[in-house]
Structure 1
Amino acid sequence: MVLTKGDDFPLHQTPEPVAFAGTDRNFYDRYFFHGYAPDGSDFFAAAFGVYPHLNVADAHFSAVRGGIQHNLHASRELNMERMDLTCGPIRIEVLEPLHQLRILIDGEGIKADLTFTGRAFPIEEPRFTIRIGPRVFTDLTRMTQNGFYSGWIEIDGVKIEMPTGTMGTRDRSWGVRPIGARDQQPHSSGTNFTFFWQWVPINFTDRSVFFHVNAKPDGRPVHTRAVIASDGAMAGDMYETEARMEASLQPGTRWPKSGRLTVQGQDGLEVLTFEVLGRFQMRGLGYSSPKWGHGLYHGPLAVEREDIDLSQCDPAQLENHYVQLPCRVTSDRYGEGFGVFEQLIVGPYQPFGLQEFTDLG
């Protein structure tokens, strides 16, 4: 039996039932959320992934309090039902497609009820395809949306209501990227994988600014986009433009120290300055986690809590390289806003003086 709930909706992308997503075992479909209080504090994040050909779903929730990142991980067998957005103690509800979603958490001393409401229509990023030699590494589409959160988070009995003005970003991506157990078949000789990525979604009072770049080891952009979206903007109202990020590394790490984003705005060049306020380790959502990496099989259902003392993270460990840094962002025309500076560097990156895979700033 392969018919599922999704087959009663006009969602099919192939001649087969929705349970099948083409033929690539690395196909995935993912929700991502992060948010922060109006002053950039009380950072939280969530993710939910579906891996149809691995027959696995997993989900994660994280909240940072007092220098500790509290993480809840869950994984289950998908049972080919892609419309079931529950994974153990974590559930996603789509209240109004492309506008409002709800996150519900209840497990291992961590509880939350958060509703995200978009500020404008989501932006669609260009299709992102990377090949290593003849092999597809990524081939995906992502939509990104800034918005406001309402609700509360409770950690070990201490409940905090999200203050009015709590902001953040959510995205949806789907396609092909490395998931599940590592492919043991090596690439052709002489092929070394490198990856440089920066992503900065920013919330200002009346608009959102989005920028990302994937670059070669010498700094040449491969995939980049900048968009300015006024509140209430629809798809045709987005201002697509160009931007350039100048950044530096915290000494002894691959984490950003600061940043200056120069954007070609509607009224001319605008310089956005980033002041780092904190740090979030992306392994709390499964990214680069050796145990809770996306799509790994843990049996019919597995749930685990993981608390990370952020002051004790070793920046030399690969699992700690991928970060999101909550930032205060200032601009002459746009005023003061908040956002995140996400960065991942794998391998050499000449503009930062990283010559070897193990180099730190």
Structure 2
Amino acid sequence: MIASQDDGLGHGSADHFTTDGQQVTTPAIADTPHAMFTERYWYMGALVPEGDFVFGAGLGYYANRKVMDGYVSVSRGGRQYSFSASRQCAVDPLVSAIGAMRITVEEGLKAHRIQLGANASGLALDLRFNAAMAPNDEGRDKVVRGGQLMADVSRYIQFGHYTGWVELEGSRTEVAGTQCWGARDRSWGLRTEARTDASSPPLTRFRPMMFLWVCAQFEGHGIHLFLKEDAPGQVRSLVANESYPPHAGRPASEIVEVEHDIEWQEDPFAQRIAGGTLRLRFADGRRKILRMRALPGWLSLKAGMYGGYRGWFQGDDKGPLHTATQAWNLADPGTRRELRTLAEQVIEFSDGDAVGYGTIQGGVAEGFAKYPEVQQQPMM
């Protein structure tokens, strides 16, 4: 069962104080040669129905390395602004703040606050996430390969709305919950990250597969799914649920089968979805069709060092405090090649007559026996 305390850091460690009052974290779960123990916050939201303004934020805590890193990023009108930061955290290891950015759990499973103060990126914001649905528990994803533990991650998703403001190059946009739909997740465990930074080879090689990470929010429900297939219809893993508002008193409904028919954009640099359908079958026998239409906005996750960016990888010790800023022109060919595929792509979803919004992360590796039209572009 997910509890409000799960929103706090410290899942993999025992915290105590020395005689001089200093807080110390003693890791309880050791890193392995294949994975490092990671606790992570992740947030995304988009202004709808236009879908051209999308933001993301995240924070990772690596107890064994005594390192914390994070990012805040906004994409609007074909430009993306990003602030990234890392700090050593032998002192105050469970304070989720790095330089100008701070994440505050104001009330577990109900309200979080993401703040970015003055910095060199041209981006600042103060946004509060207000939960709209009960958390959607992904459970525990444990991967053992060749007798070796490769990953062991627990995670849950929660849909909600954001209020507050975002400032880009001195121009402030007020954000109201009725127009800013999104989600967040919370995860902890042994995590392996793919390396996709061309400046720091070798790159991770992917065997034939497809993955889809979908967050689709509607007025009265939310659908989240994480699907990996080794071949069309050959499921490696699937975690999928439909969640409801807390006051509904209704447990999440498990989705046990997903069939996909995806239409792709003609993009010379990355795999981008244009639209399509997801056919869902529930454990109780219900079926529904989720229709998708891409909106203009997308936000590259290189902002958060996913896969690494210019030699900086998640969990790297960059010293007492290290920050970096980016302002990317998303139409520039050199930038696009560097940013690759992995992104939050804003999608309008239809569930019967209900219209909702959210984002998709997805990709197809070479050799997967469907969607050959995009496999010449990087999967992630």
TM-score bracket, shorter-length normalisation: 0.7 to 0.9
Deviations 1:184-204 (A, max 9, x none): 9x9xxxx96565321111111
Distance 1:10 1:258, change over 3 A: closer
Range moving further from structure 2, 26-35 or 75-84: 75-84
- Which residue of structure 2 aligns with residue 32 of structure 1? 42
| Counterpart in the other structure of 1:101 | 112
Post-superposition CA distance 1:320-350 (Å, at most 9, x none): 12122101112324x1111112114455422
CA distance in 1, matches of 2:195, 2:133: 37
Determine whether 1:125 maps to 2:138: yes
Q: Does the 8 A contact of 2:14 with 2:28 survive in 1?
A: no
Given the two structures, how large is their TM-score scaled by the length of structure 1? 0.85
Q: Which amino acid aligns with 1:170?
A: R
Deviations 1:205-253 (A, max 9, x none): 2211112201225551111122112222578621112333321333344
Hey, what's the Cα distance between the residues in 2 that align with 1:268 and 1:37?
A: 31
Question: Structure 1 pair 267/222, CA: closer, same or farther in 2 (3 Å)?
Answer: closer
Alignment match of 1:276 (pick from 294, 302, 324): 294
The answer (yes or no) to whether the contact 1:34–1:169 under 8 Å persists in 2 is yes
> Following the alignment from structure 1 to structure 2, what is the Cα–Cα distance between the partners of residues 171 and 224?
17
Equivalent residue runs for 1:109-188 within 5 Å: 109-165=122-178, 166-178=180-192
SS in 2 for 1:79: coil
Q: 1:203 aligns with which of 217, 224, 227?
A: 217
- Segment drifting more, 209-218 vs 129-138: 129-138
* 1:71 aligned onto 2:82: yes
Structure 1 position 154, deviation (Å) = 0.5
Q: 1:225 to 1:172 in 2, by over 3 A?
A: same
Residue 19 of structure 1 aligns with which residue?
Answer: 26
Q: Which runs of 5+ in 2 are unaligned?
A: 17-24
Partner of 1:51: 62
Q: 1:276 to 1:314 in 2, by over 3 A?
A: farther
- SS in structure 1 at match of 2:246: coil
Q: Could you say what secondary structure the match of 1:290 adopts?
A: coil
Task: Give how far 1:288 is off.
Answer: 1.9
* Alpha-carbon distance in structure 2 between the residues aligned to 1:317 and 1:132: 32
Paired AA for residue 270 in structure 1: K
Residue deviations 1:173-192 (CA, integer Å, cap 9, x gap): 1111235999x9x9xxxx96
How many Å apart are 1:319 and its aligned residue? 4.4
Of 91-100 and 241-250, deviating more is 241-250
CA contact (8 A) 2:130 2:161 kept: yes
Partner SS state of residue 126, structure 1: strand
Give the match for residue 260 of structure 1: 277
Query: Which residue is equivalent to 1:339?
Result: 358
Does structure 1 retain, via aligned residues, the 8 Å contact 2:206–2:365?
A: no
- Superposition map of 1:203-242 within 5 A: 203-217=217-231, 220-232=234-246, 237-242=251-256
Tell me whether 135-144 or 97-106 shows the greater mean CA deviation: 135-144
In the TM superposition, 1:263-342 aligns within 5 A as 263-264=280-281, 268-278=286-296, 279-291=298-310, 292-313=312-333, 317=337, 319-333=339-353, 335-342=354-361
Distance 1:222 1:318, change over 3 A: farther
CA deviation after TM superposition for structure 1 residue 359, in Å: 7.0
Q: Deviations over 1:28-62 (max 9, x none)?
A: 00000001113133211100010111221111001
Contact 2:12 2:189 in 1 (8 A): no
Return 5+ residue gaps in structure 1 as ranges.
1-5
2: CA distance between counterparts of 1:75 and 1:204? 35
What TM-score, normalized by structure 2, do the two folds share?
A: 0.81
Answer whether contact 1:74 1:302 (CA < 8 A) is retained. yes
Task: Sort the Cα spacing of 1:202 and 1:161 in 2 relative to 1 into closer, same or farther, 3 A.
Answer: same
Amino acid at match of 1:261: L
Whether the 8 Å CA contact 1:30–1:49 is kept in 2: the answer is yes
SS of 2:239's equivalent in the other structure is strand
Displacement of 1:297: 2.3
The superposition leaves residues 121-165 of structure 1 with CA deviations (integer Å, 9 ceiling, x where unpaired) of 211103112344344332101110000111000011110000341
Tell me whether 224-233 or 26-35 shows the greater mean CA deviation. Answer: 224-233
Which amino acid is 1:307 matched to?
A
Alignment RMSD, CA only?
Answer: 3.2
Contact 1:153 1:162 in 2 (8 A): yes
SS for the counterpart of 1:24 is coil
Match of 1:249 among 261, 264, 268: 264
